[in-house]
Structure 1
Amino acid sequence: MKYLVTGASGHLGQKVVRHLRNYVDEADIRVGVHNMKKASLFDETNMTVTHLDYTDPTTIDQSFTSIDVLIYIPSITYNLIQRVQEFENVLAGAKRNEIESFIFVSFFADQINNPFQMSPFYAYVPRRLAGSGLAYAYVRNTLYADPLVPYLPELIERGHLIYPVGDQPLSFISRDDSAKAIASLAVQPTMRNHGQSYLLSMPQNYNMIELAKIMTDVTGQSISYRPVTVEQFGRIYQHDGGAELASMYDAGGRGLMSATSNDFRRLTGEDPVTMDRFLHANYQKSSL
């Protein structure tokens, strides 16, 4: 079997590649890289590096030829139309090159009443795949815990979390655990070829008071919860995707970002890392 990981030089893609190497021979892995300046990340491996531009059918075909399992990690953009078009290009390439199995890496903001600006994309793709004639599965990640680590110094300075979600809990997964589950799924045909949907989360979700307490314990600094409004949050982070992030936390405040599951254990046979363990381990590393 030949495997292609798209977005392989990104935060998640690199981790997926690393875990996939635990299951299959390096020579059977192809990594799709958009910015070829990052191709050097894979210099010390036997994997094939290919230039992959989701907008360019030529690079798509060069990357997809002779591939059995495609792990599609979408680009990071808040441009909804661009994201949909990129997916359509990838889907067309998968059909042209007769990809055996399509794994779509998704996000759990796909409910019909979810106000997150990218929610239409996450709802659209599984329905499009369902009518594609391809064998597929899709992985719905919860919120990544990783960005919380570099956020901690700001929270220490503020003294409180400000997410505008009220008393609603949020669900999280670490990127490394997400990557481990995706790689495990890729090598299990019975788990990935029948339109299955998997939700990757920590064992429990966390309301903001619980999350603030964990952060206080981890940092030794007092962090409480004092939410701002959705509009205020968007203004505070207006130069860092504030409007889009605000729409995501608007969804969280409506109870739409709290789901959990045991799918990580189903795919890996292990338990995912909990928030306290994750923050303790990674905050200590970042402080060294």
Structure 2
Amino acid sequence: MKIAVTGATGHLGSRVVAHLQKKIDTKDIVALVHNKNHATTLINEGLEIREIDFQKRESLEKAFVGIDTLVYVASKTYSVFDRVGELENVLAAVKKNEIKNLVAMSFIADQEDNPFVISPFYGYLPRRLAGTDLNYAIAKNSLYADPLVPYLPELIERKGLIYPVGKQAMSFITLEDSAEAMATMALNEDVLKSRRTYLLTQSRSYTMPELGKIMTKVTGHEIGYHPVSVEEFGKIYAAEGDGAELASMYKGGAMGYLHGLSDDFAHLTGHEPEAMEHFLTRSYHE
């Protein structure tokens, strides 16, 4: 059985590949990438590399030949139109190659009235898959904890978190745990046949004062909570190219839409997800 992973050189996809390598022979894994020049490590590890372009259905149809299970890690774009087109191209190529199994990445912000700009896609994904005859499982990730680590120096300087979510809590998962769960899903026949969504979170969520206390303990610097408005947040990070988009996500967070909790990770993997304090302590180096 061959399992293919899209985005195999990315932050999540590369970790999914690594977890699959622990469980099955490398020859049974296909790394789907946008540019082979970025896949040197995977090539050196002996993986089969195939290039894809999500916006060109023909490239997907060619790359999916001989695949039994596809792990679909979506591209990083805030364009709903592009994401939907990408998904439709993926499903068309899956159908042409008679692939039976699909693991799809999703995100917790999928509520019908969530203002996050890409939320419509996350609402579309499960409904679209429900209309297929695929065996599938959807990995609905909570917020990734990993970006908090490089963010810590800025938070130390600011002396506080500034996310505009008020008193609402937010849920997190590490990229490593998300990848382990997705690799496990791809190898579990019962999970693939479940045609359901699995919410991946740590065992608890955090209000911003609670998260700040953990960060204070880990860094030794006082990190409180000094929220700015949604508009101000967007302006602060506009230069990074996604300030408005992230601001819309946290606007949904202020509505209570980023705090869901689940024990799905433990049921899938047989162990608890890494806790926030442990992750930050392990990852932070002053």
TM-score range, shorter chain: over 0.9
SS of the equivalent of 2:22 reads coil
Determine the C-alpha separation between the residues in 1 that align with 2:70 and 2:238. 35
Within a 5 Å distance, the mapping from 1:211-222 to structure 2 comes to 211-222=211-222
Determine the C-alpha separation between the residues in 1 that align with 2:193 and 2:108. 20
Structure 1 residue 44, shift from structure 2 partner: 2.2
Determine the C-alpha separation between the residues in 2 that align with 1:239 and 1:204. 32
SS of the equivalent of 2:76 reads coil
Look up the match of 1:171: 171
Q: Give the alignment's TM-score, normalised by structure 2.
A: 0.98
Structure 1 residue 43, shift from structure 2 partner: 2.2
**Contact 2:103–2:136 (8 Å) recurs in 1:** yes
Determine the C-alpha separation between the residues in 1 that align with 2:137 and 2:79. 24
Determine the C-alpha separation between the residues in 1 that align with 2:68 and 2:82. 26
Determine the C-alpha separation between the residues in 1 that align with 2:35 and 2:154. 31
Look up the match of 1:245: 246
**Contact 2:102–2:186 (8 Å) recurs in 1:** no
Partner AA of 2:156 in structure 1: I
Look up the match of 2:16: 16
Partner AA of 1:58 in structure 2: E
Look up the match of 2:281: 280
Moved over 2 A (4+): none
Partner AA of 1:141 in structure 2: N
Superposed CA offset, 1:13-43 (max 9, x none): 1100000111111000000001222121212
Determine the C-alpha separation between the residues in 1 that align with 2:56 and 2:253. 36
- Where does structure 2 lack aligned partners over 5 or more consecutive residues? none
Look up the match of 2:260: 259
Q: Give the alignment's TM-score, normalised by structure 1.
A: 0.97
Range with greater deviation from structure 2 (56-65 or 28-37): 56-65
Partner AA of 1:282 in structure 2: S
1:135 aligns to 2:135 (yes or no): yes
Structure 1 residue 145, shift from structure 2 partner: 0.2
Superposed CA offset, 1:219-247 (max 9, x none): 11111101001111011111220111000
SS of the equivalent of 2:58 reads helix
Partner AA of 1:258 in structure 2: H
Superposed CA offset, 1:60-108 (max 9, x none): 1221111010000000011111111111100110011111101111101
SS of the equivalent of 1:21 reads helix
SS of the equivalent of 1:239 reads helix
Determine the C-alpha separation between the residues in 2 that align with 1:111 and 1:230. 19
1:32 aligns to 2:36 (yes or no): no
Superposed CA offset, 1:144-187 (max 9, x none): 00000000000011111000000100000000000011011110
Look up the match of 1:5: 5
Range with greater deviation from structure 2 (35-44 or 117-126): 35-44
- Where does structure 1 lack aligned partners over 5 or more consecutive residues? none
Determine the C-alpha separation between the residues in 1 that align with 2:38 and 2:255. 39
Look up the match of 1:95: 95
Determine the C-alpha separation between the residues in 2 that align with 1:40 and 1:5. 16
Determine the C-alpha separation between the residues in 2 that align with 1:272 and 1:46. 30
**Contact 2:142–2:171 (8 Å) recurs in 1:** yes
Determine the C-alpha separation between the residues in 1 that align with 2:181 and 2:45. 22
Look up the match of 2:146: 146
- Please tell me the root mean square deviation across aligned C-alpha atoms, in Å: 0.8
Aligned residues: 285
Determine the C-alpha separation between the residues in 1 that align with 2:63 and 2:47. 13
Structure 1 residue 136, shift from structure 2 partner: 1.1
Determine the C-alpha separation between the residues in 2 that align with 1:165 and 1:52. 38
Look up the match of 1:70: 70
SS of the equivalent of 1:214 reads helix
Look up the match of 1:54: 54
SS of the equivalent of 1:105 reads strand
Counting aligned pairs with the same residue, the percent is 50
Look up the match of 1:157: 157
Determine the C-alpha separation between the residues in 2 that align with 1:273 and 1:198. 17
Structure 1 residue 193, shift from structure 2 partner: 1.9
SS of the equivalent of 1:71 reads strand
Range with greater deviation from structure 2 (55-64 or 221-230): 55-64
